[in-house]
Amino acid sequence: MAPGEKIKAKIKKNLPVTGPQAPTIKELMRWYCLNTNTHGCRRIVVSRGRLRRLLWIGFTLTAVALILWQCALLVFSFYTVSVSIKVHFRKLDFPAVTICNINPYKYSAVRHLLADLEQETREALKSLYGFPESRKRRDAESWSSVLEGMQPRFSHRIPLLIFDQYEKGKARDFFTGRKRKVDGRIIHKASNVMHIESKQVVGFQLCSNDTSDCATYTFSSGINAIQEWYKLHYMNIMAQVPLEKKINMSYSAEELLVTCFFDGVSCDARNFTLFHHPMHGNCYTFNNRENETILSTSMGGSEYGLQVILYINEEEYNPFLVSSTGAKVIIHRQDEYPFVEDVGTEIETAMVTSIGMHLTESFKLSEPYSQCTEDGSDVPIRNIYNAAYSLQICLHSCFQTKMVEKCGCAQYGQPLPPKANYCNYQQHPNWMYCYYQLHRAFVQEELGCQSVCKEACSFKEWTLTTSLAQWPSVVSEKWLLPVLTWDQGRQINKKLNKTDLAKLLIFYKDLNQRSIMESPANSIEMLLSNFGGQLGLWMSCSVVCVIEIIEVFFIDFFSIIARRQWQKAKEWWARKQAPPCPEAPHSPQGQDNPALDIDNDLPTFNSALHLPPALGTQVPGTPPPKYNTLRLERAFSNQLTDTQMLDEL
């Protein structure tokens, strides 16, 4: 190497290294603070005085904390939505309208199936309300005479009991009049809001298959208890009747619909589609999806909607199954299942019911903005309904599936899952106990259905405004009822009265459609601009400064650490690979002075001064200097030749 290169290498080696190649993290941080464009970091280094430096450190750290906090809020609020409401005025499609009679089947057609159940129900009512409290002994005697030769199979399977608050753990049987011990849990099915004080409550007991686990359900009113008891046996009986026979026992479209008008044009039973509901019998849907085209209305107002007159036929009502008279109507989409028992609107007899509608269409954003679902394909619950997905469909499908899994059969009020049968006594003797236990767990959200089912992202909702008026009037019924009787002469053989009829009007109040739409409140561009605003506000920083911070604190910082670790590893590896030094033979060292032979390392000048003299040995002396070299001579006294020696002088 040339002498100049040696000097440059030596100078470069001795100069301090700064910047990304700094040997220590401290030097790197100092270099960054002196060269960065963020003023706070620079002031930490260049400020004079410890107090000023501490203040700038505090200000800088506070600014960094505020930036992180604000940016975190921006990130967490990124998946928020903004709601916009738009109102459109246009021609609207008319919804599907499903109409059901409250009484599912004609009483004359099903009476032979329910004869034994009704007889036991009447006797239970007679036992509860027909005798004074003071004649208990005579009650038991009367019951034994009434039930002589008769086996009360329904009350034997599910006994009706009367509980007295003064006698804990005991109850009196309806049919025998005897007291019996009641074991197991007692579940009161009255309202939790209203506290009812009563000396006696009525209920029934349900037990599991082995009768070891029983639950007693009590009601604050005997009417509620008997209706619930009757309904359980009614579902068991009707579950065994074929569907074709049940359709024939219910009301036909020609019987239910007396007159029909839509948008000023006459319509009839051919415009309605049969829909059989297990608990409401034959229902009929107007403007269903099975029609070729979906009807629409051209104007708002009652004259341009659906107008029907319904024949209720109160004489054919089951006295124990339903306690009100009229019909139920539900307004829904063409591809939606009509949940009549959940959201149906009741229509009174001898009245005209006007239902004005406002259409609202909602569109929600799916994940990650919300937990809604587009079509239910991402919900792990099989849709057992032949309809589009909805939250109600998911919940009912989940419960029915759990019912089949745990009880071995399906509940009568809902559609059948594949390869399943409705519950009945013959195949599933104790299904009622299982059903009540499962329903209680469902209400308490223990089955997990509420956590799995999701709301639909898009749906239509009709806001209804209902008004009532007496119909027909006293003046008009004199001619209106005879005309309607003549029109229905082929279907019924009696004179109509006003309590057999109900009029229904369904219409749009106006043609304004309200759309509620969700849109993302933020975007990537807006998020980046908000980040830049926060950086500029608190640190007078830009995106280039952020890149610089990333380079210094994440690349150079870890490079220094990695370089140190690599150097240590190389030194360790060099020591491990170096061959061991061979041991030299022992010989006197240090001018043959045995006193200097204390280790293998050669002594230095300073260490040699502190060595003790060897015992019994003579320390070699230093030869005396030539004193003639110390003699002072005059300058330029004698000029020596190049070959002349001092001894020759």
Q: What's the CATH number where 393 sits?
A: 1.10.287.820
Q: Check: pTM over 0.75? Answer yes or no.
A: no
Place of tokens 């053989």: 493
Q: Is 492 exposed, middle or buried (0-12, 13-18, 19+ CB in 10 A)?
A: middle
pLDDT over threshold 80, residue 419: yes
Distances 402 to 165, 281, 394, 447 between C-alpha atoms, Å: 36, 25, 12, 8
* Interval 458-486 mean pLDDT: 89
Q: How far is CA 236 from the centre of its chain?
A: 35
Question: Between vectors from CA 322 to CA 410 and to CA 258, what angle results, nearest 5°?
Answer: 105
Angle at which helix 524-539 crosses helix 50-76, to 10 degrees, equals: 170
Instruction: Let me know whether 327 and 314 are in one domain.
Output: yes
User: Is 40 inside a domain boundary?
Assistant: yes
Distances 421 to 402, 404, 405, 408, 416 between C-alpha atoms, Å: 14, 9, 12, 8, 7
User: Is 280 inside a domain boundary?
Assistant: yes
Which residue range(s) make up the domain with 500? 87-104+253-362+459-519
Say if residue 625 is preceded by a cis peptide, omega within 30 of 0: no
Instruction: Let me know whether 234 and 160 are in one domain.
Output: yes
Which is more confident, 172 or 452? Answer: 452
pLDDT band of residue 3 (cuts 50, 70, 90) is: low
**Residue at which a domain ends, from 410, 425, 456:** 456
What per-residue confidence (pLDDT) applies to 147? Answer: 43
What is the C-alpha to C-alpha distance for residues 546 and 82, in angstroms, rounded to an integer?
A: 31
Q: Where are the beta strands (DSSP E) in 77-211?
A: 81-89, 92-93, 96-101, 160-164, 170-173, 179-181, 185-188, 200-207
Which is more confident, 69 or 608? Answer: 69
Instruction: Let me know whether 199 and 118 are in one domain.
Output: yes
What per-residue confidence (pLDDT) applies to 193? Answer: 36
User: Is 11 inside a domain boundary?
Assistant: no
Summarised one tens digit per residue, pLDDT across range 91-134 is 899 999 999 999 999 999 999 999 888 888 888 777 776 644 33
Question: Between vectors from CA 343 to CA 321 and to CA 295, what angle results, nearest 5°?
Answer: 115
User: Is 208 inside a domain boundary?
Assistant: yes
What is the C-alpha to C-alpha distance for residues 583 and 585, in angstroms, rounded to an integer?
A: 7
pLDDT band of residue 626 (cuts 50, 70, 90) is: low
What per-residue confidence (pLDDT) applies to 46? Answer: 79
Q: Which tokens belong to 488?
A: 């229905």
Instruction: Let me know whether 351 and 468 are in one domain.
Output: yes
pLDDT band of residue 261 (cuts 50, 70, 90) is: very high
Instruction: Let me know whether 341 and 389 are in one domain.
Output: no
User: Is 410 inside a domain boundary?
Assistant: yes
Amino acid at 137: R
In eight-state DSSP terms, residue 551 is: I
The set of residues, in sequence order, having a beta carbon less than 8 Å from that of 27 and lying 6+ positions away, is: 16, 17, 18
What per-residue confidence (pLDDT) applies to 133? Answer: 39
**Residue at which a domain ends, from 437, 456, 475:** 456
Strand, coil or helix: what is 185? strand
**Residue at which a domain ends, from 425, 456, 487:** 456
What is the C-alpha to C-alpha distance for residues 228 and 217, in angstroms, rounded to an integer?
A: 10
pLDDT over threshold 70, residue 33: yes
Q: Which tokens belong to 146?
A: 């009434």
Instruction: Please state the domain count of the chain.
Output: 4
Q: Is 584 exposed, middle or buried (0-12, 13-18, 19+ CB in 10 A)?
A: exposed
pLDDT band of residue 360 (cuts 50, 70, 90) is: very high
User: Is 408 inside a domain boundary?
Assistant: yes
* Interval 621-633 mean pLDDT: 59
Instruction: Let me know whether 356 and 489 are in one domain.
Output: yes
Nearest to 326 by CA among 342, 338, 310: 310
Instruction: Let me know whether 325 and 405 are in one domain.
Output: no
pLDDT band of residue 595 (cuts 50, 70, 90) is: very low
User: Is 120 inside a domain boundary?
Assistant: yes
pLDDT over threshold 90, residue 174: no
Instruction: Let me know whether 381 and 425 are in one domain.
Output: yes
Instruction: Let me know whether 342 and 477 are in one domain.
Output: yes
User: Is 598 inside a domain boundary?
Assistant: no
pLDDT over threshold 80, residue 607: no
pLDDT over threshold 80, residue 596: no
DSSP result, 401-458: HHHHHHHSSB-TTSPPPTT--B--TTT-TTHHHHHHHHHHHHHTT-SSHHHH---BSE
Instruction: Let me know whether 314 and 266 are in one domain.
Output: yes
What is the C-alpha to C-alpha distance for residues 249 and 43, in angstroms, rounded to an integer?
A: 93
Instruction: Let me know whether 452 and 463 are in one domain.
Output: no
Strand partners, 518: 83
What is the C-alpha to C-alpha distance for residues 232 and 3, in angstroms, rounded to an integer?
A: 111
Q: What is the CATH number of the domain that holds 345?
A: 2.60.470.10
What per-residue confidence (pLDDT) applies to 141? Answer: 43
CB contact at 8 A, 270 and 320: no
What per-residue confidence (pLDDT) applies to 622? Answer: 62
pLDDT band of residue 143 (cuts 50, 70, 90) is: very low
Place of tokens 């359709």: 247
CB contact at 8 A, 311 and 492: yes
Q: Is 344 exposed, middle or buried (0-12, 13-18, 19+ CB in 10 A)?
A: buried
Summarised one tens digit per residue, pLDDT across range 40-68 is 777 788 788 888 888 988 888 898 899 88
* Interval 301-315 mean pLDDT: 90
**Mean of the per-residue pLDDT values for the chain?**
78
What is the C-alpha to C-alpha distance for residues 236 and 424, in angstroms, rounded to an integer?
A: 5
The 3-state secondary structure of 10-35 reads HHHHHCCCCHHHCCCHHHHHHHHHHH
Instruction: Let me know whether 426 and 451 are in one domain.
Output: yes
pLDDT over threshold 60, residue 258: yes
For residue 634, how many C-alpha atoms fall within 13 Å in the half-sphere facing its CB?
A: 4
310-319, 565-574, 579-588: least confidently modelled range: 579-588
Distances 582 to 321, 363, 599 between C-alpha atoms, Å: 111, 88, 15
Angle at which helix 50-76 crosses helix 39-46, to 10 degrees, equals: 160
